[in-house]
Structure 1
Amino acid sequence: MPTASSTATTGSRRGLEHRWHEATLTVRGPGGEPLADAEVGLEQVRHAFAFGNIGFDFVGLANETSAPDHNVFGGAEPQEAAGLVDLWLDVFNTATLPFYWAGFEPMPGHPDTRRLLRTARWFRDRGVDLKGHPLVWHTLAPDWLAGLSDAEVETTLRARVTREVSDFAGLVDTWDPINEVVIMPVFDNEQATNAVTRLCRDIGRIPMVRLAFETAREANPSVRLVLNDFDLSTAYECLIEGVLEAGIAVDAIGLQTHMHQGYWGEERTLATLDRFARYGLPLHLTETTLLSGDLMPAHIEDLNDYQVPSWPSTPEGEARQADEVVRHYTTLLSHPAVEVINYWGLTDRGSWLGAPAGLVRADGTPKPAYHALRGLVKDEWWLSPTTWRTDAEGRLTVRGWAGDYLVRASGASTGFSLDPAQPAVEARLGRS
């Protein structure tokens, strides 16, 4: 049995030293006395780092409905989602909820607030943090918005942002208030230019960002707001610089990494992270995918243009995906600016573009990539239940990833948090 001079730790730390934190834990009894020379059990219960995934699969389940037409945001059908709950919760602690305006408010004045509130509470009851995505976006803007004048569109946008951020305050306190602004004023589709693009073209990108960000922050001053984009070219850097120079408060920079055309590799990934870390803001990897089937051809410029009748997961692709998931997550976490990694889809069922990008097959069985990621999150980067002995002052040195931990002794238990800003923590035992 390790003594107090030993250190509780686990897993490989190569390249991830900054993720491991050490603190002196003083364990006290119910009366406040140090629990000296005592056997104590330690275990981790939660990561502080946000290991995320979308929560679209569980909207129907949380609302106890099996009607397929309620699954407007994609993902598994409600009747299939029950079998995915444990798989999701065993790896992820942060969920992105869908607020795509066309699906959320198909008719003006009839938002899907009630169902999404139930879904948010369902996740929070299970200890999951939440993010809303997105509030202002040219894609999936409701058709009814197009008939309004620019002034009316702006007023309606502000009201929409205020409503959602206010209604979900305390449940969803992180948002993408606006999405993919780089392409917003030039976005076009088969129909007439949508109203969001039209307004952005009229007033400009930075005023659109200001509209979304400042309206959201007025609705909830404690909200965390992410500027998110798939275009990671210098155009995005120019946008970020313009937004910051304009005095718009941004809490994190969102980077989408849908790797449908192949894994980027460590060198390109780190170079991209360095480019955006120079702004001094946390980096959120908001939309991450790696395929377990055939890769999309390299000549495709817009991923949405690739349409195939069938896109299956394959044994060779699954082995490749598992290897790449480990490499990608390890590379991302090696960079100190990365605060969030959000994988875009647990399952292949209803996946974006029909791609085999899920960590679970369409039949609900986990792929090797799921097991590989879980092995990192809940094994290599996790402090498993272990017994230690305190010293004469009831102290023990604990080393692990930032997060929540549990200490047990003599039938009593209590929790404590490992935080890099706190080199010394105390845990006072109560009855379990």
Structure 2
Amino acid sequence: MNVSSNELRHRKGTKAIRLMTKDGFPIKNKEVTVSQTKHKFLFGCAEFDSVPLANGELEEKERIKAEERFEKFFELFNYATLPFYWGRFEPKKGKPDTERLKKASEWLVSRGLLIKGHPLCWHTVTAPWLLDMSNEEILKAQLNRIKREVSGFKGLVDIWDVINEVVIMPIFDKYDNGITRICKELGRIHLVKEVFNEAKKANPEAVLLINDFNTSISYEILIEGCLEAGIPIDAIGIQSHMHQGYWGVEKTLEVLERFSHFNIPLHFTENTLLSGHLMPPEIEDLNDYQIKEWPSTPDDEERQAMEVIKHYKTLFSHPMVESITWWNFCDENAWLGAPAGLLRRDNSCKPSYYELKKLIKKEWWTHPTRLVTNNTGEFEFTGFLGEYELAIDNIKLHFNLDKNSTLIEITV
């Protein structure tokens, strides 16, 4: 899929910048160099391995391997998803894993990443001790949990998957759990309203997502009902775990078209494409496919790379998409043991890693540009939206390039 520069106009901005001396005089006819340092678009990945690494829990051999992996991670991504699964975060009531997650968040933020917490409310991997409560008590515990995490992590984690997979939530029947119980009693929209309102109260500035793997009309109807109920959804999360094969450009565009009519930003929150054999098509629940070995192969790695390029180009070309999160960076510890990583188990890069890096840091990156100020100290600059460094003589300054076309005045 070829994406012309015209089709990416929504990803770019033009800014007029005026350079002034401290005495208020324009800096005339002066050469400057402008370099991009960060994308505004969120190129993300789930990175649960940051928790043991940031907390110093790894033996030396594993620590070195993890550090090597993260250097490759930081070369590619500006956004990371951290695990807040309630059943793992607070397996014993009143003993949440707050400090470990805070250390991981602080470490990732220190490397320039934005962080999303996933998820606050979900019927899977939820707290087992909820089953000892009445439905009224479960809801109260769920809302208290949201208040605690969203307020407690404010400034570190300001993007949240508030509720996950609501379409199936009240009819989920694989095992009993507290969240399915209250969703069945309250109804989907009522529960969504409760959890979103609590999250919004805890951090009014947070970006709050509803998230689902179900891309059918059922999800559309749910979102429509939520919006009619006044629920403050900031972004619609769409999962695309393609273990059974790449969706293809046509299906992806069809999904984008249907969900973009809400005029709410779209986040593709969980993306996987395999570099090994595909999961059989008759499998309905991906979790049901458990095998001992699932190798990555050279031919499948080439296929994965081609599909990654198509998938990212399709999503990046659509103006409603603000975020793409790859789900497994490395095959080691990947969900279901699938070869869905951009890195192999030994940390070596697959072709998909290099192809994605070409897109993010070359094709979709504004390379260093030399410009000269005019007689009023101004120059005009066009580039991909994001953060920039401006170098003049031995001085380095910073500015954001966004869709706001107002003149920036910088004192040197």
TM-score, length basis structure 2: 0.96
Counterpart in 1 of 2:133?
Answer: 148
Q: Partner of 1:56: helix, strand, or coil?
A: coil
Q: Which residue of 2 aligns with 1:122?
A: 107
- Superposition deviation, residue 138 in structure 1: 0.3
CA gap 1:316/1:162 in 2 versus in 1, 3 angstroms: same
User: How far does residue 17 in structure 1 lie from its aligned partner after superposition?
Assistant: 2.2
Counterpart for residue 235 of structure 2: 252
- For structure 1, the 5+ residue unaligned runs are 1-10, 69-75
User: What are the superposed Cα offsets for residues 238-265 of structure 1, whole Å, 9 maximum, x if unpaired?
Assistant: 1001111111111010000111111111
Q: For 1:11-160, what aligned pairs fall within 5 Å after superposition?
A: 13=5, 15-66=7-58, 78=63, 80-160=65-145
Taking only the aligned residue pairs, the percentage that are identical comes to 48
- Deviation of 1:40 after TM superposition, in Å, equals 1.0
Q: CA RMSD in A?
A: 1.7
C-alpha change, 1:158 and 1:347, in structure 2 (3 Å) is same
- List gaps (5 residues or longer) in structure 2: none
Amino acid at match of 2:83: P
How many angstroms does 1:14 deviate by? Answer: 5.1
Assess if the C-alpha contact under 8 Å between 2:16 and 2:405 holds in 1.
no
Q: Establish whether residue 222 from structure 1 lines up as the match of residue 227 from structure 2.
A: no
| Correspondent of 1:300 among 262, 280, 283 | 283
What secondary structure sits across from 2:149 in the alignment? helix
Tell me: CA distance 1:375–1:201, structure 2 relative to 1, closer, same or farther (3 Å): same
Deviations 1:231-289 (A, max 9, x none): 11111011001111111111010000111111111111111011001011000101011
Q: After the TM superposition, which residues 306-385 of structure 1 pair with which residues of structure 2 at under 5 Å, given as runs?
A: 306-385=289-368
- Which residue in the other structure is 1:163 paired with? 148
> What does 1:175-214 align with in structure 2 at a 5 Å threshold?
175-189=160-174, 191=175, 193-214=176-197
Aligned 8 A contact 1:414 1:428 in 2:
no
Query: 1: distance between equivalents of 2:294 and 2:335?
Result: 11
TM-score relative to the length of structure 1: 0.92
Counterpart of 2:266?
Answer: 283
Contact 2:391 2:397 in 1 (8 A): yes
Paired AA for residue 398 in structure 1: F
**AA of the residue aligned to 1:198:** R
- Cα pair 1:23 1:425 within 8 Å, conserved: yes
> Contact 1:59/1:78 (CA < 8 Å) preserved in 2?
no
Report the alpha carbon displacement of residue 24 of structure 1 after superposing the two structures with TM. 1.8
The answer on 1:400 being equivalent to 2:383 is yes
Maintained 8 Å contact 1:57/1:78 = no
Residue 387 and residue 100 in structure 1: after superposition, are their counterparts in 2 closer, same or farther (change >3 A)?
same
- Which secondary structure state, in structure 2, belongs to the residue aligned with residue 257 of structure 1? strand
Contact persistence 2:192–2:226 (CA under 8 A): yes
Per-residue deviation at 1:35?
A: 2.0
Indicate conservation of the 8 Å contact 2:14/2:405, yes or no: no
Deviations 1:145-192 (A, max 9, x none): 111111111111111111111110111111111110000011122x4x
